[in-house]
Amino acid sequence: MGSQNSYHPSREIPAAYRLMRAVVRFGVRVFFPGLRRLNPERLNQPGPAILLVTHPQSLPVALLLVATLDRQVHCLVPSGHLRGLFRRLAGWALGMQAFDSTSGEQDALLDPCLSVLEDQEAIALFAQPFSENGAHRQPVAGFAARLAVEAILQGQGQVQPTLYPVHWLLGAKRRRREPMMCVDSPIQAHRFLPKVSEDLTEASRQLAETVEMAMDTNIFGLSAPEVENFNHELEGLSQEHLQQQWSRRPDWKQRADDLRLSRFARKWVAEQNCADPARLVELRESLDAYREARRQCSMGQLRVETSGPWQASSLRVAAAWLETVLGFPLALYGLANHMPAVVILQVSGLFKQSPKRDPKVEWFLRIFIVLSSYTAQILLAHFWWGRAAAGYYALTLPVSGFYLWRYRWLVRHRAHVLFLKLLHPVRAARLERKRETILGRFDRELERSSQSAGMSY
């Protein structure tokens, strides 16, 4: 898992850290063999580093960071992600510190973090707007900027930390996608000091704005038009669902067209696009699958409606069903009889017309192949079952071939329509369940986010 540019630490990495990192790397190789890393060599460069991780799944991302880097990473993980025996044990071995980014915790951990940077090591901060108990967290970008500026000032220029925004694409479903990591362009904190004559407050503010802007620009996120289109599709899906629900109530006067996506929902989409775009990608894939299923259902219904006036006659419909069922064995018999000829025509390329060949020659060759196949099959029947059986079999060859052609027309113009009409209620119900699943998942995400924020949506 190491980079080609090996990192040489200023002091030896603890044995517990190296042992747990080996265990984590083995797990990553087993469960995420396709882990992709973009610009990982930036993090293995010598010197103090502050890693700014935007993904909300702090502990899994911290473990992936540990497995990816050769250098030791001191992760400040939200306390809610370190609950449980195994998590606490892994956190202790890897030197993880519970950190909810409150004002008191920032002040308490400032000096230990400065000591880590003075030792030319790396710190990983995880940006989450709310803690597990709903208490508002102070912006991580501000703490990272303050930490970098004070490290430079206290070290009198000898300690110059670099800030690295680290973005992840980590799908919720293991089978769907391998995780991807991208180390964004580094931010050199010392370049901000000369602009403000080494004023701590102003330097931290300007640096914090730059860091926050870099964290909000996720390389894996959707573009602004794509986000707007995603919101529009969610609105349309909600309107379609409510319209179907309200249509069952004759006295209901509210129109589904008046529905608009709430401001909280739009804000959640924007935040997820910056922090965890994999959720939006999976929701978007579900919307695409639903849209395709709806298109197929609509096309089937259109095919039924435009198939002709024969559906108005119950007698013709019953005759079509009867022939579809009873004619199936005869069609199979005809297909078996003509399979040798079909294979020869397919292999020779004569099954399809070619502009490079003369049509008369093509038809002559096709007839010759079919008659040759008939002759060979009759000779085999004569050899196995005798002259009388071969004579009867010879009569069935053209008859079964004609009915096979007839059954092909029946399937395309009658049976297909009958089955589409028969299965339409099933497909419509399945489409409704798929729509409810997408909207239910979106509502659960919003509810979970609102509970963390301590507000309603």
Band (pLDDT 50/70/90 cuts) for residue 2 is very low
Q: Between 128 and 77, where is the model more confident? A: 77
Q: Does residue 116 register a pLDDT over 80?
A: yes
pLDDT at 372: 92
Tens digits of per-residue pLDDT, 382-419? 989 888 999 999 999 999 999 999 999 999 999 999 99
Q: Does residue 107 register a pLDDT over 60?
A: yes
Pull the structure tokens for residue 424.
């339409």
Start-end ranges of CATH 3.40.1130.10 in the chain?
Answer: 15-216
Pull the structure tokens for residue 244.
């179907």
pLDDT at 453: 55
Q: Does residue 41 register a pLDDT over 60?
A: yes
pLDDT at 347: 87
Q: Does residue 135 register a pLDDT over 50?
A: no
Tens digits of per-residue pLDDT, 190-206? 887 755 455 667 777 88
Q: Does residue 132 register a pLDDT over 60?
A: no
pLDDT at 129: 53
Mean pLDDT of all residues in 44-54: 87
Mean pLDDT of all residues in 449-455: 62
Mean pLDDT of all residues in 317-345: 93
Mean pLDDT of all residues in 149-155: 83
Q: Does residue 213 register a pLDDT over 90?
A: no
Tens digits of per-residue pLDDT, 231-290? 999 888 888 888 887 777 777 666 767 778 888 889 889 888 888 888 888 888 899 999
pLDDT at 277: 87
pLDDT at 138: 62
pLDDT at 160: 85
Q: Which class is 15-216 in CATH?
A: alpha beta
Q: Does residue 434 register a pLDDT over 90?
A: yes
pLDDT at 323: 94
Mean pLDDT of all residues in 225-229: 90
* Percent of the residues in the chain that have a pLDDT greater than 70, as a whole number: 89
Q: Does residue 20 register a pLDDT over 50?
A: yes
Tens digits of per-residue pLDDT, 275-321? 888 888 888 889 999 999 999 999 999 999 888 889 889 999 999 99
Closest to 170 measured CA to CA, from 58, 287, 43, 66: 58
Mean pLDDT of all residues in 374-381: 92
Q: Does residue 211 register a pLDDT over 70?
A: yes
pLDDT at 200: 65
